């Protein structure tokens, strides 16, 4: 069983994104999700609104915690060095118990190969092994940080979540018929999906190309065409449709 720490920034979206990629979730507790999942590396590369993924080692109660720590085989999952993160507990005390059960213990508080964590949710304590953390660096891909910016560009975190809500696999193609400067295509491409973007203006397609190339995106196509006249079928369409003040009257480019 895996434990997912969801972002409270938008908990409803975080839940929807997770279930779209892994299927039914067994249960939720506050911003925690409990579910069976495989391909953790791919999941961590994709999920935008999940902060961390853990493997549940054992479930216990506060009065049984020390007893269970002493009984667990920590050596079976220990790699090179470790640290302990215990939320609401005596962190040093728990780390000491684990230390006593390791054959060749070595502590590393900054970049451990093995990170054990203890989480208290309601009446249960979950001892877990950190498998992956969100390292998508969305701030580095905000519109003003790209080679070619556009004032109406979607936040990259939201763009990635929208792609994930489709449940698309890596063999699928994502189409954005209003691709603009390529924000959605960038996030889909970074996840390894094939992408196709359409726009009415060559100037926008040029911006999209510069942005996609800057982030080293592969397997993309950019085509000048009216989105209302597309005849080709795609696996999924993800787009931010022009609306309100962002809508322009199309004019032919010279």
Q: What is the pLDDT of residues 147-177, one digit of tens each?
A: 998 888 899 999 999 999 999 999 999 999 9
The answer, yes or no, to whether residue 7 has pLDDT greater than 70, is yes
Report the C-alpha gap between 99 and 104 in whole angstroms.
Answer: 9
Counting Cα atoms < 13 Å in the Cβ hemisphere of 211 gives 31
What pLDDT was estimated at residue 252?
55
pLDDT digit string (tens) for 174-218?
999 999 999 999 999 999 999 999 999 999 999 999 999 999 999
Model-level pTM?
A: 0.90
The closest alpha carbon to 78, from 63, 100, 53, belongs to 100
Q: What are the tens digits of pLDDT across the range 108-127? A: 999 999 999 999 887 899 99
Q: What is the pLDDT of residue 247?
A: 59
Q: Determine the pLDDT at residue 254.
A: 47
Predicted pLDDT at 121: 81
| Close Cβ partners of 118 (under 8 Å, ≥ 6 residues apart) | 65, 84, 85, 86, 87, 89, 94, 125, 126, 127, 128
Record the tokens describing residue 65, joined without a space.
Answer: 């915690």
What are the structural domains, with CATH classification, of the chain?
2-133 (3.30.2130.30), 138-246 (3.40.50.150)
Percent of the chain with pLDDT over 70: 96
- Mean pLDDT on 7-18: 97
Confidence of residue 131 (pLDDT cuts 50, 70, 90): very high
Decide if 205 contacts 197 (C-beta within 8 A).
yes
Give, in degrees to the nearest 5, the angle at Cα 225 between 219 and 231: 85
Query: What sign for the dihedral angle of Cα 94, 97, 101, 106?
Result: positive
pLDDT at site 205: 98
- Residue 44, both tokens: 């961590």
Q: What is the pLDDT of residue 113?
A: 97
């Amino acid at each position: 069983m895996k434990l997912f720490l969801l972002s409270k920034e938008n908990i409803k979206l975080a839940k929807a994104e997770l279930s779209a990629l892994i299927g039914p979730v067994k249960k939720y507790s506050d911003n925690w999700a409990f579910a069976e999942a495989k391909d953790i590396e791919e999941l961590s590369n994709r999920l935008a609104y999940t902060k961390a993924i853990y493997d549940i080692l054992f479930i216990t109660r506060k009065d049984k915690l020390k007893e269970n720590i002493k009984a667990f085989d920590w050596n079976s999952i220990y790699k090179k060095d470790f640290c302990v993160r215990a939320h609401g507990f005596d962190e040093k005390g728990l780390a000491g118990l684990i230390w006593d059960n390791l054959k060749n213990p070595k502590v590393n508080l900054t970049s451990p190969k093995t990170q054990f964590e203890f989480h208290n949710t309601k009446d249960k304590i979950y001892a877990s092994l950190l498998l992956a953390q969100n390292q998508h660096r969305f701030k580095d891909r905000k519109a003003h940080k790209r080679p070619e910016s556009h004032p109406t560009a979607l936040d990259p975190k939201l763009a990635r979540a929208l792609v994930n809500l489709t449940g698309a696999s890596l063999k699928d193609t994502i189409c954005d018929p209003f691709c603009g400067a390529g924000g959605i295509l960038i996030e889909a491409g970074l996840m390894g999906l094939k992408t196709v973007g359409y726009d009415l203006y060559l100037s926008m397609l040029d911006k999209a190309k510069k942005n996609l190339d800057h982030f080293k995106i592969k397997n993309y196509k950019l085509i000048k065409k009216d989105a209302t006249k597309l005849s080709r079928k795609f696996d999924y369409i993800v787009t931010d449709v022009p609306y309100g003040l962002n809508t322009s009257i199309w004019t032919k480019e010279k």
